[in-house]
Structure 1
């Protein structure tokens, strides 16, 4: 369906890689941010986890190369079920061109990424943590914020995701199964509403709990950073807005907001320990309806 090598090469050709020539002490600053984030999140959450052994400071081309493998794994699930079209060569050309545009757009905009390596062939492959240095510096400059503080904020956010997947070893399988089920249905021309609702609910929990931990673990105020970043996204041109919608980035913002409201209510009614029950097992995840009725979830699980 997609010529991945061609897509990656074309995306890199269209994207300035940016510099990863680090200033004195910068590498240690990244490492310190990750360590401090790990210790802070452990302290406030009580979760047992460790950060990935793979922590990379990347340029934009590095990020594209790292994520082609991820996209290929996800799309491979679709290819297993897809039927050959009447003009497969034409379809591949169109699909490859589309993926080139998306990889290039994301490569210029992603700041940091925790990669749990969903759908990896080897189940024991390590998760990874990426920082796209040129994008972090560019965003900090455009937002007129201190780049060291901004980088540290990104590190804390990504480490919260490492905490979630580390505390819930079942989470990767849970997401993979619903992803594969939903994609398989799409390839057959149907829509598995239940699979996508469960996937959306799980990702809302992932994003919302991360925001909860950030509120408690980050050692500085960061509302200004979140506000400025949201304003920057809203101010983009129509093509960028379209790409964000196609990539589901508007959905991700909704997941942040909905998940954060769920966990804020749980902590207000109960406590952070109760909120952490979501990682006890899949049966503890709130349903799609319970995300909007946190007290109903509390009554179900806090016994």
Structure 2
């Protein structure tokens, strides 16, 4: 960690937009040890086998097609930051253009905040399926990443078998690939509401309807992934979930505060709320019925239906 280099990068933030993305990436990497990518042939084969097996089992139990990226990327933390600073820049671009030029001190503060965010996530993300929202190029429409140093570190911290833990992460991320393949409308739906939410926030207001719609969609994405993975994963998962939940809730007071500021508590609530919804649907009906959620935006549950799954089931019955 090089605090001086990070501070120098932030202090040198320039340009006309709210954030100097090049400086944010440099500063976040200065704050974040890259971690080792010393991966032997067994590790390489393990990642390939985990993704291949996840695809096969998810297609089998879910009755869905899984479309995977051509390349599966095994990153260190700096690689992950470089990939995601591009995503953040792309998502923020529409409102940055509307806001126009920023005074130097505001740009410096924004750049520093973004560098801390990227550094924290880079040290903690384990795997990621990225549908590349708002991407302009059709050359690469989605990506699948594993942050190998984080997987190794967390497996050691939680006293888990590393290969089994890596496999569980792979299954989770491949379920997200299945969702976006099953629902080709999902990317555009998320993009539209992300843009709406950001635009209203940038104008100093808050669009509660847009935020609720986005929150519901992300809760469905996370909840369905949990359901599908529970049925597809070929090993016991109880201890994995318990230890990861303890990790999400634990840490120092500063770490817990930082997670709240980043909205990571919201993501955990989305996991839990979505999982309860889909477990109820699958219990009352089956996995195939739960998969109706991807029939179109109109098939998504409302916020009220997420907490009363029987209402969503009744509505889906009426559409037959």
Equivalent of 2:228, from 210, 213, 228?
A: 213
Equivalents in 1 of 2:250, 2:186: separation in Å?
35
Equivalent of 2:92, from 50, 75, 79?
A: 75
Q: Which residue of 2 aligns with 1:135?
A: 150
TM (normalized to structure 2)?
0.92
Q: Which residue of 2 aligns with 1:37?
A: 54
Contact 1:45–1:272 (CA<8 Å) still a contact in 2? Answer: yes
Q: Which residue of 2 aligns with 1:46?
A: 63
Cα distance per residue 1:50-77 (max 9 Å; x no partner): 2221310110000000000011111212
Equivalents in 2 of 1:261, 1:71: separation in Å?
30
Q: 1:148 to 1:96 in 2, by over 3 A?
A: same
Structure 1 moving runs of 4+ over 4 Å = none
Equivalents in 2 of 1:11, 1:203: separation in Å?
27
Equivalents in 2 of 1:133, 1:76: separation in Å?
30
SS at 2:128 equivalent: strand
Q: Which residue of 1 aligns with 2:35?
A: 18
1:297 matched to 2:312: yes
Shift, 1:41, TM fit: 0.4
Shift, 1:149, TM fit: 0.3
Deviates more, 1:287-296 or 1:197-206: 287-296
Deviates more, 1:265-274 or 1:131-140: 265-274
Q: Which residue of 2 aligns with 1:200?
A: 215
Q: Which residue of 1 aligns with 2:192?
A: 177
Equivalents in 1 of 2:107, 2:97: separation in Å?
15
Equivalent of 1:158, from 169, 173, 181?
A: 173
Cα distance per residue 1:189-222 (max 9 Å; x no partner): 1111111100000000000000000110000111
Larger relative contact order, structure 1 or 2 (CA cutoff 8 Å, min sep 6): 1
Equivalents in 2 of 1:159, 1:289: separation in Å?
28
Equivalents in 2 of 1:77, 1:240: separation in Å?
31
1:121 matched to 2:133: no
Equivalents in 2 of 1:125, 1:235: separation in Å?
37
SS at 2:205 equivalent: coil
Equivalents in 1 of 2:132, 2:309: separation in Å?
30
Equivalents in 2 of 1:262, 1:276: separation in Å?
12
Q: Which runs of 5+ in 2 are unaligned?
A: 1-17
Equivalents in 2 of 1:112, 1:132: separation in Å?
6
The alignment of Structure 1 onto Structure 2 pairs a total of residues equal to 301
Cα distance per residue 1:105-143 (max 9 Å; x no partner): 111110000000011122563210000000000000000
Shift, 1:4, TM fit: 0.6
SS at 1:17 equivalent: coil
Q: Which residue of 2 aligns with 1:64?
A: 81
SS at 2:302 equivalent: coil
Computed over aligned residues only, the root mean square deviation of the Cα atoms, in angstroms, reads 1.2
Contact 1:2–1:96 (CA<8 Å) still a contact in 2? Answer: yes
Equivalent of 1:229, from 239, 244, 254?
A: 244
Contact 2:135–2:141 (CA<8 Å) still a contact in 1? Answer: no
Deviates more, 1:13-22 or 1:131-140: 13-22
Contact 1:54–1:126 (CA<8 Å) still a contact in 2? Answer: no
Q: Which residue of 2 aligns with 1:9?
A: 26
Contact 1:259–1:291 (CA<8 Å) still a contact in 2? Answer: yes
Equivalent of 1:266, from 261, 265, 281?
A: 281
Q: Which residue of 1 aligns with 2:299?
A: 284
Q: Which residue of 1 aligns with 2:263?
A: 248
